[in-house]
Structure 1
Amino acid sequence: MENEVYYEVLLGCSPPLNEKSYTAEEHYALLESVLGIYGKSIKAPVVIIGDNCLTNKALADLMGVPLIGCGCHKLNLAVKAYLARRPAVEKTIARVDKVVSQLRNLKAAGALRELTSLTPIKRNARQLDDIDSIGRADSERLKTIIPSLNDFRSIMTDLQKKGQHIGAVHETFGLMTKDYPELKDYLAADAAIAHNPLFESAVVKIINGEKDSLTVEEKDQVACFLLPSASAASATQRRPIQSRDKKTYASQLRERKRQRMTPSEEYADLRFITGTSASEERRFSSAMHVLRSTRKRLTPVNFEKLLFLKHNRHL
Structure 2
Amino acid sequence: MSWIIKSNLPLHFCEDAETHRYTNLERISQETLYRGLESVTRHVEVVIKADMPKRYGLISDGWSFNSEHYLAVFGCFEMAGTAQYPLPAMAPLMNSPTNNLSAATHLTFLRQMLMRDYNKRVEDYLFTVGDNCYINQRLANLLSVPLVGCVSHHLNLAVQNFFREVSDDLDNVKSLMFKTPLRPVLSQDTRWSSTFCMIHRYFRLLEFIKDDDELTDNLPGPATNRRLRKLLEDLSMVKSVSKELQASTVSLLDVRVYFDRLLESLPPLASHIGARTAIVHSPHCEAAYVKVLDGKTAELTRAETASQRRFAVQCEETSVAAAVDDAESSFLEQVKKRRKLATSGPPSTS
Normalised-by-shorter TM-score class: 0.5 to 0.7
Name which of 109, 121, 127 aligns with 1:41.
121
Q: Choose the corresponding residue for 2:131, options 9, 33, 51.
A: 51
CA-to-aligned-CA distance 1:150-169 (integer Å, 9 cap, x gap): 11122112112224322221
Amino acid at match of 2:90: C
Which structure is higher in RCO with an 8 Å CA cutoff and minimum separation 6? Answer: 1
Post-superposition shift, 1:105? Answer: 4.8
Which residue among 169, 172, 177 is the counterpart of 1:92? 169
C-alpha distance in 2 between matches for 1:78 and 1:208: 25
In structure 2, what is the Cα distance between the partners aligned to 1:232 and 1:101?
74
The Cα of 1:12 is off from its aligned counterpart by 0.3
CA gap of 1:43–1:138, structure 2 versus 1, over 3 A, is: same
Q: Give the equivalent residue in structure 1 for 2:297.
A: 211
1:104–1:211 CA distance, 2 compared to 1 (3 A): farther
Partner of 1:197: 283
CA contact (8 A) 2:234 2:266 kept: no
Match of 1:15 among 92, 103, 123: 92
CA-to-aligned-CA distance 1:237-282 (integer Å, 9 cap, x gap) = 7897999xxxxxxxxxxxxxxxxxxxxxxxxxxxxxxxxxxxxxxx
* Aligned residue in 2 for 1:276: none
Structure 2 gap ranges (5+) = 1-77, 184-200, 206-212, 332-350
How far apart in 2 are the matches of 1:101 and 1:4?
Answer: 54
Gaps of 5+ in 1: 107-112, 118-127, 244-315
2:237 is the alignment partner of 1:151? yes
CA RMSD of aligned residues (A): 3.3
1:1-315 superposed matches below 5 A: 1-2=78-79, 5-17=82-94, 18=96, 21-36=100-115, 37-84=117-164, 86=165, 89-103=166-180, 105=182, 132-230=218-316
After TM superposition, the score normalised by the length of structure 2 is 0.56
Q: 1:232 to 1:58 in 2, by over 3 A?
A: farther
Q: Which moved more, 1:139-148 or 1:64-73?
A: 139-148
The alpha-carbon deviation at position 103 of structure 1 amounts to 4.1
Identity of aligned residues (%): 25
Could you say which residue in structure 2 is the equivalent of 1:278?
Answer: none
Question: Are the equivalent residues in 2 in contact too, given 1:6–1:163 (CA < 8 A)?
Answer: no
**Aligned pair count?**
225
- Report SS of the residue matched to 1:209: coil
Inter-CA distance 53–240: structure 2 relative to 1 (3 Å threshold): closer
